Structure 1
Amino acid sequence: MDYQLLFTRFQADAAHTRWPQQRQLHECLRSAIRQGTLASGTRLLASRALALELGVSRNTVLYAYDQLATEGFVLPARRGTVVASLAAVQIPKAAAPALRSGLSRRSQGMPTLPGSEMSVAFAPGVPALGSFPITLWRRLLDRAWRALQPAQLNYADPAGELALRTAIADHLRVARGALVDSGQVFITDGTQSSLDLVARAFADPGDKVWMENPGYQGALAAFRGAQLKPIGIAVDEEGLAPLASDWLRHRPKLIYVTPSHQYPVGSVLSLERRMALIAQARNAAALIIEDDYDSEFRHDGPPLSCMQGLAGDAPVLYLGTFSKTMFPALRVGFVVVPAALAEPLTALLARAAPRGRTADQLALAEFMRSGHFSLHLRRMRRLYRQRRDALVAALQQLGDVATVHGGSAGMHLALRLHDPQADDEAMSARLMQRGIMAPALSLHAVGARHQPWRGFLLGYAQVPAETMEALVATLAAVVRGGR
């Protein structure tokens, strides 16, 4: 065996060049043994001889031999170190394709969710991160960590830190008209985590869940993952519009809505429809999932009251998140459940979902209690209103071919094309090539029913007002067939 050639070839791999020499030799010999290059029963060179041949220190060789012996690849023998008889067991190459296609059938049809690359105009759901008071946040985090006791490094209350749950309940009562106390609030890792939780906790595989059509693809992913059956219900200018036949033919267990600012088209569910939906859900023994994802940003008038607070016994699971009001990487959301469901959900989480990130939650609770959260919201409302106004003004150049919807609230609006046959997917792809993310409304279809919305979802929260005119000019050129 030419150990010098073996070691030189191994070192030539760029992936190994930064490793210490001791590790390089150990990994080189282990790889050769696993591949059968050093066969079972082979007696390795004595440590002094191998060190001399490779030009390394004897300690380097001794380290490699000791590690191989610890891992069972070599055995000490009377005449030196010998490769173990079972060391060259290899995984058959035929197994690799099975691993690459090993996802479950239900997971392979999941919609793709937005990722960290969504920082360009007009990526939806991205707040103005440069305007977040990060220095203040660092200070609150540091204070929270300094105050932690050793016992708080253990798993925490599965419902979340009481201080944060109390701060959230206090805020929701004042700002959203919710009927809630801290015992009904459960902290999650964000809206997607909340959706996964309620889908699995309050429905069984095969149960029907109503969704707005077009609707939020993240919710669709959660419901499919829980093996529920999504039913798309049409959306118009007043929000979800179920037919009498829907209640008879597709009796739901869960009803998912975004009533304060429908995602993606931006319509607001009217009070009449809210009250009717609550009454009908109660009669059907269904639960309404109210996703209030960006309701804090109401541009034309005060924020609307949430559905959860419209009736004391409303069968509503209220979902909120700090990814829009604070920043996405915080990964904190919450679920508010009816009082009657708080105890069983607490018992379920105690068995299945230990919580952590105590310092983050305590810092957020202090951010809310101290008034910084309310101040930050006021600043963002002003900023987002300015950017909304600039975008709406720029979109006037498309008034003959498209209509703006949903600009009264939130961080995005919908641009609906007048042509119902428009290929918004192709246009969206061309815009992405020009550095503009404008997701096609047709891609938000839910279920087999036709949805007539064609156009784009335009997020404006992270887009400076002075850039809107040029960006919309690019959008207009693509819409009108320009290249």
Structure 2
Amino acid sequence: MPYQHIQLDGDHSIPLYLQIYRRFREAITNGRLHPGDRIPSVRSLASELDLARGTVETAYQLLISEGYLLTRGPAGTVVSPQLPTRRIKEKPTLPVVIRESTIRPQRPVPLPLQLGLPALDAFPRKLWARLAGSRLRRPGVENLVYPDPRGYAPLRSAIAAYVGISRGIVCGPDQVFICAGYPAALELICRCLMKPGDACWFEDPGYPFARDVLIGAGAKLVPVPVDGSGLQVDAGQTLADDARFAVVTPSHQSPLGVALSLPRRLALLEWANRRQSWIVEDDYDSEYRYHGRPLPALKSLDDGGRVLYAGTFSKVLYPGLRLAYLVVPAGLIPRFAGVSERMANNCPELLQGTVSDFIEQGHFTRHLKKMRNLYTLRRSYLEGALQEICGQHLKIEPQAGGIQLLARLKAGTDDGALADDALASGVAVQALSRWCLAAEIEPGLLMGFTNVASPEQARDICRTLMLSLNRPLA
């Protein structure tokens, strides 16, 4: 296959990595690439096509996850030998969503430095079991019937009170919708407000799972660069002033950890009001800020009713709970209520009730305070070990909050290959380049520190990581 003749359209509504994915899939299904054929490395194909390595890497990961390609370590990547040699009937073209397992390891026991996890060993299991047991023992049938598709009413009231106090958001319980995780909240927004082909500003680099949901809903993503003050609103207006959506993480940008400055917050709101566009605020771990008070939510500045605010309990309780919430403008309540009834994407009401009791009885506030202190300590464990053992290879980016670290690597380092090698050794770091759509960015590794329980464990992890940092990578 003449890879240098792969035709890509930078102005097309389909992202470049999906165009690459489809070109390879067509070549395999049409018999131009055969089982066992070796394909170019990420680096060489990115060079041929003049693209960011992360763009090509994302396309390859899609093909690997669907069984079209197979990695063979130093021997490179080949067309899967298990594919039949005859022509495969092409499936109808559909929006493609990256499987979660291609980025986040799915294992019964989390690996060291895995992202997106709270301190699982510090979760108050006995208290949680007591609250859940108390719920189960309550008489009556009200908890046995079909649940409210908007979510358990006492929990919605508790969330409305919590975000009012902690995030400065003035809302009523009717504006709160309970969803089965943040991707489900984003899907609810898409079903209510988005039309296929709608342009959507998306932070670059940005959260991969949100990116996949939006693509699956038919959004035309507009990668907007991020700098030390957050999303570059001026760049977004230049790229697509008529965009219908902007999906942002203003309190703690994912993954760079910067906060959206006040001038840019105001500029973003002004743009949304002028264009009658929607802003989706993902406030995924705003509770964890170690220097000063948590920043006010962007939603607290929203006088025009253009911001939809999403929060989650995955980072503060545990991800297996699958419980997120969405605060919508008052005028959108009927539309969201109708779609929620058809989606039925709620977390089980027993768990919603348990979370409600956890908040109302004061346990949630105490738990957050305990976790902030614990994470300050555990972050220091990992930072110290990285500087001691791996300091010649990487530099830790300062961050005011969050539950992960970003360590920058030397220019020219293939952070994707390094992350793969580390994962093979049992350390689940992630490559910063894989969070990019179009941005050419300094290579780096993302590391979760919440489950690093001691300085000794941190040093053991860093010694394993050091083997990958010292190992020549193909």
Q: Does 1:301 align with 2:280?
A: no
Deviations 1:216-268 (A, max 9, x none): 11001100111111111111122111335744645221111111111112111
Q: Does 1:277 align with 2:268?
A: yes
Give the secondary-structure state (helix, strand or coil) at the position aligned to 1:392: helix
Corresponding residue to 2:407 among 399, 415, 439: 415
Cα distance, 1:354–1:293 mapped onto 2, change above 3 Å? closer
Cα distance, 1:414–1:341 mapped onto 2, change above 3 Å? same
Which sections of structure 1, spanning at least 5 residues, go unmatched?
1-93
User: Identity over aligned residues, as a percent?
Assistant: 34
Aligned pairs for 1:102-181 (under 5 A) are: 105-107=94-96, 112-117=102-107, 119-147=110-138, 149-181=140-172
Partner of residue 472, structure 1? 462
Give the Cα separation in 1 of the matches to 2:264 and 2:106: 36
Give the Cα separation in 1 of the matches to 2:301 and 2:286: 16
Corresponding residue to 1:289 among 265, 280, 283: 280
Give the Cα separation in 1 of the matches to 2:236 and 2:346: 43
Give the Cα separation in 1 of the matches to 2:285 and 2:400: 12
Give the secondary-structure state (helix, strand or coil) at the position aligned to 2:96: helix
Give the Cα separation in 2 of the matches to 1:458 and 1:441: 10
Conservation of the 8 A alpha-carbon contact between 1:208 and 1:250: no
Deviations 1:262-305 (A, max 9, x none): 11121111122111111112112111111111111111111111
Q: Does 1:461 align with 2:450?
A: yes
Deviations 1:94-140 (A, max 9, x none): 9xx989x8686323666645253271111101111111111111111
TM-score with structure 2 setting the length: 0.76
Give the Cα separation in 1 of the matches to 2:400 and 2:380: 10
Give the Cα separation in 1 of the matches to 2:129 and 2:93: 41
Deviations 1:334-380 (A, max 9, x none): 00111221222113323443757222111111110000011111111
Conservation of the 8 A alpha-carbon contact between 1:148 and 1:359: no
Corresponding residue to 2:232 among 236, 241, 253: 241
Deviations 1:189-228 (A, max 9, x none): 1111111111221111110111111111100110011111
Q: Which amino acid aligns with 1:259?
A: P
Aligned pairs for 1:21-420 (under 5 A) are: 105-107=94-96, 112-117=102-107, 119-147=110-138, 149-244=140-235, 246-247=237-238, 249=240, 251-353=242-344, 355=346, 357-397=348-388, 398-399=390-391, 401-405=393-397, 407-419=399-411
Partner of residue 76, structure 1? none
Deviations 1:437-466 (A, max 9, x none): 1110001112xx233131111110112132
TM-score with structure 1 setting the length: 0.74
Q: Which amino acid aligns with 1:272?
A: P
Which sections of structure 2, spanning at least 5 residues, go unmatched?
1-83
Q: Which amino acid aligns with 2:333?
A: A
Partner of residue 433, structure 1? 424
Conservation of the 8 A alpha-carbon contact between 1:214 and 1:453: no
Q: Which amino acid aligns with 2:136?
A: W
Partner of residue 73, structure 2? none
Shift of 1:146: 2.0
Conservation of the 8 A alpha-carbon contact between 1:122 and 1:436: yes
Partner of residue 49, structure 2? none
Partner of residue 31, structure 1? none
Conservation of the 8 A alpha-carbon contact between 2:105 and 2:428: no
Shift of 1:426: 0.8
Conservation of the 8 A alpha-carbon contact between 1:313 and 1:338: no
Higher Rg of the two aligned structures = 1
